[in-house]
Amino acid sequence: MLTLYDTTLTSRLLLGTARYPSPAIMEAAIRASGTQIVTVSLRRETAGGGRGGQFFEVIKGLGVHVLPNTAGCHTAKEAVLTARMARDLFATDWVKLEVIGHHDTLQPDVFALVEAARELCADGFQVFPYTTADLVVAEKLLEAGCRVLMPWASPIGSARGLVDPAALVSMRAHFPDVPLIIDAGLGRPSHAAEAMELGYDAVLLNTAVAGAADPVAMARAFAAALEAGHAGYHAGLLEPRDMAVPSTPVIGKAVFA
């Protein structure tokens, strides 16, 4: 079981709702993944449009928790206002806090992130910060009032997987009691399994599922990988060795010469 801000969950997958080939495939992929949390955004609505409402009716019908994001915000001020608008609209204190600092890598601006997190936590938000694996930044986010941390594995949408596993191992070791969610950069089910084998609590995906040739099958594959990786971590993984260790006993071996 996973607990995020007093909400207990059985799934360890948080799934994005963007970039699917169609709304029907999005809905089927969400169901197939078994996720209990989906991310959504806020964007300008066209006069007389109502498309945002139609999209959200589909999400509401799935019976999952909604995690609004502040995607595309480049300053703390923008992110804080977007979070407040999201809370008014979605009636949730949860927010996936993104403050983007670099156009090419979509790396978080961790200085503005901490500033925004401080303001939002003080205002009663339950913040899920999209951050790096930097331990000092993580400490500042916890001091600000965050009770979940979401380090990236690699740049958003890059499908490169865990490019710096050592940093993620350090983060897990330094914050044993904080729920840690890998957010961004995963491309394959094996990446998700690897994250779980490092002791991470959950992963947040979007493009890896939505951009697959068969998003519904990929959603299922990620769910299976997460379960396998999580079970493997708790079963106690062997440490790698430099040399071979025979698995068949040597004692009792026949001598023929």
Partner 1 sequence: MKLIINGEQQEIEAGTLSALLTALDYEGDWLATAVNGDLVPRTEREQVTLADGDRIEILAPKQGG
> Binding pattern to partner 1, positions 168-207, x when CB under 8 A?
--------------------------------------xx
Determine the interface stretch with partner 1 among 2-10, 12-20, 191-199, 242-250 (rule: CB under 8 A).
12-20
Please provide residue 88's backbone torsions phi and psi, each rounded to the nearest 5 degrees.
-65, -40
Interface with partner 1, residue 222, by CB under 8 A: no
Interface with partner 1, residue 24, by CB under 8 A: no
Q: Among 12, 13, 20, 73, indicate the residue that binds partner 1 (CB under 8 A).
A: 20
Interface with partner 1, residue 77, by CB under 8 A: yes
Interface with partner 1, residue 16, by CB under 8 A: yes
Q: Among 18, 62, 135, 159, indicate the residue that binds partner 1 (CB under 8 A).
A: 18
Please provide residue 175's backbone torsions phi and psi, each rounded to the nearest 5 degrees.
-125, 65
Interface with partner 1, residue 102, by CB under 8 A: no
Q: How far is the CB of 108 from partner 1 (least distance, A)?
A: 14
Contact assessment for residue 162 and residue 191, using Cβ atoms and an 8 Å cutoff: yes
Q: How far is the CB of 242 from partner 1 (least distance, A)?
A: 41
Q: Which of 120, 166, 118, 123 is nearest to 142 (CA)?
A: 118
Interface with partner 1, residue 40, by CB under 8 A: yes
Backbone torsion region of residue 161, taken as left when φ is above 0, otherwise alpha when ψ lies between -120 and 50, otherwise beta: left
Q: Among 6, 10, 88, 256, indicate the residue that binds partner 1 (CB under 8 A).
A: 88
- The whole-angstrom distance between residue 231's C-alpha and the CA centroid of its chain comes to 18
Q: Determine the length of the chain.
A: 257
The Cα 251–Cα 18 span in angstroms is: 59
- The whole-angstrom distance between residue 155's C-alpha and the CA centroid of its chain comes to 13
Interface with partner 1, residue 69, by CB under 8 A: yes
Interface with partner 1, residue 63, by CB under 8 A: no
Q: Sign of the CA dihedral 105, 110, 112, 114? A: positive
Q: How far is the CB of 167 from partner 1 (least distance, A)?
A: 22
Q: How far is the CB of 31 from partner 1 (least distance, A)?
A: 16
Interface with partner 1, residue 36, by CB under 8 A: no
Catalytic residue check, 253: no
The Cα 162–Cα 156 span in angstroms is: 12
Interface with partner 1, residue 165, by CB under 8 A: no
128-138: b or e for each residue (b if 16 or more CB lie within 10 Å)? bbbbbbbeebb
The Cα 226–Cα 230 span in angstroms is: 6
The Cα 233–Cα 228 span in angstroms is: 9
Residue type at position 235: A
Q: Judged by CB, which is closer to partner 1: 17, or 36?
A: 17
Interface with partner 1 by CB under 8 A: which residues? 16-20, 26, 39-45, 47-53, 55-56, 59, 68-69, 71, 77, 81, 84-86, 88-90, 156, 206-207
Catalytic residue IDs: 96
